Amino acid sequence: MSAATARLDVERVRKDFPVLATKPNGKDLVFLDSAASAQKPNAVIDAIAEHQRTSYANIHRGVYQLSRRSTEAFEGARVKTAHFLSAADPREIVFTRNATEAINLVAQTWGRSQLAPGDEILITEMEHHANIVPWQMLCEATGAVLRVAPIDDEGVLRSDAFEELLSSRTRLVAFTHVSNALGTINPARELTEQAHAHGAVVLVDGAQAVPHMAVDVCEIGCDFYVFTGHKLFGPSGVGVLYGKLAHLEAMPPYQGGGDMIETVTFEKTTYAPVPHKFEAGTPDISGVIGLGAAIDYVTALGLDAIAKHERELLEYATKRLAAVPGLKIIGTATHKAAVVSFVLDFAHPHDIGTILDQQGIALRTGHHCAQPIMEHFKVPATARASFSIYNTFEDVDRLVEAIEGVRELFT
């Protein structure tokens, strides 16, 4: 289905999410915090429950039928994930607990084996803490140096500064595909090409991208790509690391234990092939199967249809919120995902969140694990409305009406 003709049947989609029938504080729920964690459709809930009820057994170990069925479903989710990212090989998909663990895996395996004093890691000012702290820890361990490419006051990466910071010393470039706090969409392919031209390896944090747009890791050309299941309408506790096969095969294991080995003696251990050498211990089997169901769900809806609906919501919400007296939108990039962060000159974000909760409206307030962004814009925190497939124009209207109520209360 093309972007020109795609249309999401939002009312049908909403019926797939049982939480939307609840009434927090006696009000119909308006859920505007999908950037933190998306709600789960029945298809995902049912897939997890069905596996637990009828097919649960440990994987990769048993020869009995139940174990074989569980293993097939688990590995089937790996194949679905590879197709979802347009990866060249399912072996390039490693399951982790979340995107944060996936980044730490790369830092502690690729990073510790490749970096030396004086080498440089380049990130951007708009990163989530998960794409800052692991690199700081790696620099402390190896003597490498962390460089930061700045953003402008619209929340857009300064391409001139990014290019200037690249050099022969740059060994790794890590950047977010979509900013969780601003919604800014970075030109992942172009940034990757620039980094590769200087011989750097590239990691892209796609946690905020995969729920909103089609991602093709081969087209981007990145060496690593990470995302997390719970933002893609899947369960929490499941994440994904995509890595080019050559990198994964060269990297040492992240953790030791069961299922990541080939042979073990007291004298020497040999490791399982990729990707299993990075998946020590019993994983969240049902969670991975639930992630596979989530991928099936969004694929059936159509990523073009999702992108179109969310773009229309973003345009409508931006127009309506910008008209509220005393409201300032933080992050005004031309290319954005459906995220609107804002501050009011008459109320603290935490007060906004508390008051809106009484109206059944759930939105995030705080620094969004992106304190350097708050520092850039000289604000302690923002209120963030993040829209998804189950949100409507009426949700936007209720949000604006509730903010007007906050203004009346504080002025």
Across 172-191, average pLDDT: 98
Q: Which fold has domain 45-299?
A: Aspartate Aminotransferase; domain 2 (3.40.640)
**Dist CA 246 CA 244 (whole Å):** 6
The larger pLDDT score, comparing residue 410 to residue 120, is at 120
pTM: 0.97
For residue 104 the two structure tokens come to 């730490």
Nearest to 397 by CA among 321, 330, 309: 321
Classify the phi-psi angles of 183: left when phi > 0, otherwise alpha if psi is within -120 to 50, otherwise beta.
left
User: Residue 23: exposed, middle, or buried by beta-carbon count in 10 A (0-12, 13-18, 19+)?
Assistant: exposed
Terminal C-alpha separation, the chain: 49
Could you list the active site residues?
A: 369
Q: Where do the domains of the chain lie?
A: 10-32+302-410, 45-299
pLDDT digits (tens, 9 = 90+) for 98-148: 999 999 999 999 999 999 999 999 999 999 999 999 999 999 999 999 999
pLDDT digits (tens, 9 = 90+) for 355-364: 999 999 999 9
**Cα dihedral sign, 317-318-322-323:** negative
Across 158-186, average pLDDT: 98
CATH H superfamily, domain 10-32+302-410:
Aspartate Aminotransferase, domain 1 (3.90.1150.10)
